[in-house]
Amino acid sequence: MYHEEGVDRLERIDILYLPTNVMIEFILVMKKLGLTETFIVRKALEILREEKVKLTSIRDVDFREALKMIRQERVNIKRINDKLILAFSKRSRVPIYTYDRQLKTQAQTLGLKVFQLEQA
């Protein structure tokens, strides 16, 4: 369950930009956790129906930037989703909302605005 403060922050947001790769990762993680496809589809549709959620496409420039980060930092290609999030945030100048401390640290290093959500 999410921490009340994190949920409260998310509820106060006017628009929540959701990159497509984050939505895909959300679906795949739920599947990996063994949740039923019916449940997964229902939850994904709930997110997409939320008026404040704007599903946003990752652009080629984001991929190039993410791959550049991976090459420069010499990290595993498995980190591509985090790097795409960072590249998207950098390009679009939208804050990152995350539970991931490592992603938060990387974003702050790049000068990006980050809201660390806390787990209960």
| Residue ranges of domains in the chain | 4-116
Average pLDDT estimate for 29-54: 95
The residue among 60, 106, 99 whose CA lies nearest residue 83 is 106
Q: For residue 118, what pLDDT is reported? A: 59
Reported as a single tens digit per residue, the pLDDT across 95-114 is 998 888 899 999 999 999 99
Global confidence as pTM? 0.83
CATH number among 3.40.50.1010, 3.90.1150.10, 1.10.510.10, 3.40.50.720, domain 4-116: 3.40.50.1010
Environment class of residue 8 by beta-carbon count within 10 Å: exposed (0-12), middle (13-18) or buried (19+)?
Answer: exposed
